[in-house]
């Protein structure tokens, strides 16, 4: 039973009779071009594209697809987020929203997004957005954390809660003294 996918495929895939008569290098260029078009058609897919999806939808071998992906990665046309399975994305996406990740505060939302730097390292971008009465979001600040250290970052924040609350009380007291 073949899994269904919503992966968009270029129309010319249906007409590949010429492919078998090509040289090895020419086939490589056709595959690379085809893969590029697949990523272009699916550039807004939040879940990216896996090798298995490409294998199910394209008439090329796994090794041919891997060679094409390697070339596109080297040209920085696409990037990969490692995992099980690896997920490939068209380069140019600034970030990927993490589903159900918004932290709701009074009149503010902290939005969490993933992005990959040019060296392939994954980061978490925390973006503060003020919400007004008209429900317009006004972006105000942000913080970037190495995704590998996110848990340690959160644990470190939890350890500082009492310290920050005590400092806040002292700060407010001193501020009140200055004003009075």
pLDDT tens, per residue, the chain with 180 residues? 344 458 888 887 777 778 788 888 888 888 999 999 999 999 888 788 999 999 999 999 999 999 999 999 888 788 888 888 999 988 875 666 776 788 888 888 888 888 777 667 888 888 887 766 555 555 567 788 999 999 999 999 999 999 999 999 999 999 999 887
Q: 96-179 architecture in CATH?
A: Roll (3.10)
pTM of the model: 0.52
CATH number of 11-90: 1.10.10.10
Q: Would you say 103 and 127 are in contact if contact means Cβ atoms under 8 Å apart?
A: no
Question: Any bridge partners for residue 80, and if so which?
Answer: 88
**From-to residues of CATH 3.10.450.700 in the chain:** 96-179
pLDDT at 134: 57
**From-to residues of CATH 1.10.10.10 in the chain:** 11-90
d(CA 166, CA 103): 23
Helix, strand, or coil (residue 90): strand
Helix, strand, or coil (residue 7): coil
Question: Any bridge partners for residue 104, and if so which?
Answer: 109
């Amino acid at each position: 039973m073949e899994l269904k996918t919503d992966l968009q495929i270029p129309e010319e895939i249906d007409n590949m009779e010429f492919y078998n008569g090509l040289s090895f290098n020419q086939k490589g260029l056709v595959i690379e071009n085809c893969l590029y078009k697949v990523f272009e058609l699916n550039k807004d897919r939040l879940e990216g594209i896996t090798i298995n999806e490409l294998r199910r939808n394209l008439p090329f071998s796994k090794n041919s697809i891997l060679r094409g992906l390697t070339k596109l990665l080297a040209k920085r046309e696409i990037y990969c987020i490692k995992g099980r399975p690896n997920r490939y994305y068209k380069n140019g996406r600034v970030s990927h929203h993490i589903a159900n990740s918004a932290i709701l505060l009074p009149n503010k939302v902290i939005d969490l997004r993933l992005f990959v730097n040019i060296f392939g390292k994954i980061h978490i971008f925390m973006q503060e957005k003020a919400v007004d009465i008209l429900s317009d979001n006004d972006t105000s600040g942000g913080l970037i954390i190495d995704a590998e250290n996110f848990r340690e970052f959160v644990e470190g924040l939890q350890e500082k809660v009492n310290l920050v609350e005590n400092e806040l009380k002292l700060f407010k007291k001193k501020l009140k003294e200055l004003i009075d």
